[in-house]
């Protein structure tokens, strides 16, 4: 029989275990309860395709007016270029880049 190990969490998850509803968070993001929200979450690097996500939203938005998209993440250390390109693309597509 193979040995087994227990690897305990490195963080106290209770700190993050709070009951927050979408209704609580939406106003802080400028979203209404009627908005349909999709998100792309991850490190901002080209191979993750956030630029594809933006272009897909641009295709869908005219047919689905309540559609909203969020890109949540940070660029790699010392590499702000792709994040700047994403902001530029979002502005080019006519969106808020907050």
Q: Which residues contact 25 (CB under 8 A, 6 or more apart)?
A: none
Range of the domain at 40: 35-98
Domain count, the chain: 1
In a domain, 61, yes or no: yes
Q: Is pLDDT larger for residue 8 or for residue 58? A: 58
pLDDT of 47 reads 94
26 vs 74: CA distance, rounded Å: 21
Of residues 86 and 20, the one with the higher pLDDT is: 86
Residue 49 resides in a domain: yes
68 belongs to a structural domain:
yes
Averaged pLDDT, 38-52: 95
pLDDT at 85: 95
Report DSSP letters for 28-95, one per residue.
GGT--TT-EEEEEES-B-GGG-HHHHHHHHHHHTTT-TTEEEEEE--BPTT--HHHHHHHHHHHHTT-
Q: What is the pLDDT of residues 46-94, one digit of tens each?
A: 999 999 999 999 999 999 999 999 999 999 888 899 999 999 999 999 8
Identify the pLDDT of residue 20.
Answer: 66
CATH of the domain at 98: 3.40.50.2000
């Amino acid at each position: 029989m193979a040995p087994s190990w227990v690897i305990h969490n490195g963080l106290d998850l209770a700190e993050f275990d709070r009951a927050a509803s979408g209704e609580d968070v939406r106003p802080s993001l400028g979203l209404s309860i009627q908005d349909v929200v999709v998100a792309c979450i991850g490190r901002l690097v080209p191979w993750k395709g956030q630029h594809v996500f933006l272009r897909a939203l641009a295709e869908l938005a005219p047919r689905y007016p309540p559609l909203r998209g969020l890109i949540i993440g940070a660029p790699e250390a010392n590499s702000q270029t792709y994040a700047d390109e994403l902001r530029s693309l979002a502005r080019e597509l006519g969106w808020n880049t907050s």
